[in-house]
Amino acid sequence: MNYRHAYHAGNFADVLKHVVLTGAVESLKRKDAPFFYLDTHAGRGRYRRDDPAMQQGREFLTGVMRVLGCERPPAVVARYLEVVKTDVTPQGELTSYPGSPLVAQALMRGDDRAALCELEPAELATLRLALGRDPRFHLHQRDGYEALGALLPPRERRGLALIDPPYEEPTEFARLADALQTALTRWPAGVMLAWYPLARRGGAAAFLKNCRAELRRPALSVELLIRPADSPVGMYGAGMLVINPPWQLDAALGEAAGWLATAFGPQSRSRVDWLVRE
């Protein structure tokens, strides 16, 4: 695998992904019963600002740092920023950025449980150190797609899965669609969060069209576009597919996405679309 997330840590797509993750976790916490969290592509957990890869990309400067400087964020964004600010100095300097495992760790309660999957041994070792001795977390060196069949359904019966693949292969959207069908067959009530890039030559439009036609569960897409769709430079946006969204999460994410679009500048916009209505 050539992809290294450290080049992109803290960028606009990470902000969107982790805001949606925060909203889903906080929604699950409205009930006292414990929940299960599965992360299929966990990464290293924490991305240090002084990492050469993060310094080379420096995408966090136009991502999370721009959001940190804005006032009056909606509740979901504010909760996400509380997690991020544990790695911000009193002078406002970002020392590191938390990946999804650390965001979840900060939000989860004592009786909630998580399974994190990461194929790369070095990334997994760093993730283990980042989490510390947390008995709620179980780490697996295994293919995350395979884990959706092997680790579901959880004994808690409620919870969420985050699927955040690197999209290096042209077949990634097809693999994601198959994995979601497998996961929902085994765990029909599970909340599924799947991140996807928006790019001129991407497959997001076909993937979402397939979701409209094939999914038999409530589903919505939350997208953040930071430049025009015909932009020749990399991704013009990113999205999150949310299947089985908890009650009122759509409204909270719509407010959050609209606020983020304002924070990221005049070219940015957001959209929240029900693919399959409740």
Look at residue 142 and tell me whether its pLDDT is greater than 50. Answer: yes
CB 183 within 8 A of CB 148: yes
Chain-centre distance for alpha carbon 202: 18
Chain-centre distance for alpha carbon 172: 16
Please tell me the total count of domains within the chain: 1
According to DSSP, residue 200 is labeled: T
Catalytic residue among 164, 230, 250, 273: 164
Tell me the average pLDDT across 76-97. Answer: 95
Any catalytic annotation for residue 164?
yes
Q: How far apart are CA 264 and CA 266, in angstroms?
A: 7
Whole-prediction pTM value? 0.96
Residue 223 is part of a domain; what is its CATH number?
Answer: 3.40.50.150
Look at residue 135 and tell me whether its pLDDT is greater than 70. Answer: yes
Q: How far apart are CA 149 and CA 257, in angstroms?
A: 31
Tell me the average pLDDT across 78-101. Answer: 95
Please, which residues have CB within 8 angstroms of residue 72's CB and are 6 or more apart in sequence?
none
Tell me the average pLDDT across 182-192. Answer: 97
Q: Give how far Cα 171 sits from Cα of 23, 44, 117, 174, Å.
A: 29, 24, 20, 5
- Percent of the chain with pLDDT strictly greater than 90: 89
Domain coverage including residue 72: 5-276
Tokens of 105: 């760790």
pLDDT in tens, 41-64: 999 999 999 999 899 989 999 999
